[in-house]
Amino acid sequence: MKEKKLQELKLRQGDNQTKEQALAEFKSKSVFLSTAVNESFGVSLGDEFNFQVTMQVLEKSVQQIKSGDLSKIEEMYISQAVALEAIFVSLARKAKAQDQLLQYETHMRLALKAQNQSRATLQALVQLKQPNNTQFIKQANIAHGHQQVNNSLEKNPTPQNELLKADYAKLDCGTTIKAK
């Protein structure tokens, strides 16, 4: 097995920043973490994997997306959906070839999970291309049964629970009726 050659990464240190702070900030960057995962899974072609160049390409993609160009995201979604579809087909074919129920069930469960992930990825792509029209509603009156709705914009000068306390809202009892 070939031994990996160590690569030197350039650390940019800010004016009011210690070396430890700069290193901590660098290690928490999403582009660094993503590149580290790519490198550890061996996603490079051939023996050479240049960590610094890979990070620079990824940072360029991030800037492109921040400026409003979503073509990289669209490319990623469609690529992932196709890869997940290939995983689904492979696992479904392996399941069909199984003689034992447990192996058949395991392969089919994983195949259907890959199929569901492919569907979710394509749904996210459609959502990106055609976002839903969101409506903000101030008030919704929904009830299952009797409901009283007071949609008054003006403040009621005599609220219901205080009608009988003030002098201006006296109760008219009328005349008393004598019992016979």
Distances (CA, A) of 8 to 21, 27, 58, 81, 154: 18, 14, 18, 35, 69
Mean pLDDT of the chain: 80
Confidence band of 157 (pLDDT split at 50, 70, 90)? low
Mean pLDDT of the 94-119 span? 95
pLDDT at 88: 94
Residue 79 scores a pLDDT above 70: yes
Q: Of 5-19, 71-85, 155-169, which has the strongest mean pLDDT?
A: 71-85
| Whole-model pTM over 0.85 | no
Distances (CA, A) of 92 to 99, 101, 106: 14, 14, 10
Contact predicate 70/128, CB 8 Å = yes
CA count, 13 A, side-chain hemisphere, 162: 7
Number of H helices, E strands in the chain: 5, 0
pLDDT at 147: 66
pLDDT at 139: 66
User: Could you tell me which of 2, 89, 15, 11 has the C-alpha nearest to residue 51?
Assistant: 11
Query: Residue 165 corresponds to which tokens in the numbers above?
Result: 């306390």
Between 180 and 24, the higher pLDDT residue: 24
d(CA 118, CA 88): 9
d(CA 85, CA 74): 17
pLDDT at 10: 76
Residue 99 scores a pLDDT above 60: yes
**Residue 67 per-residue DSSP state:** T
Segment 109-156, tens digit of pLDDT? 999 999 999 999 999 999 888 888 777 776 666 666 676 666 665 565
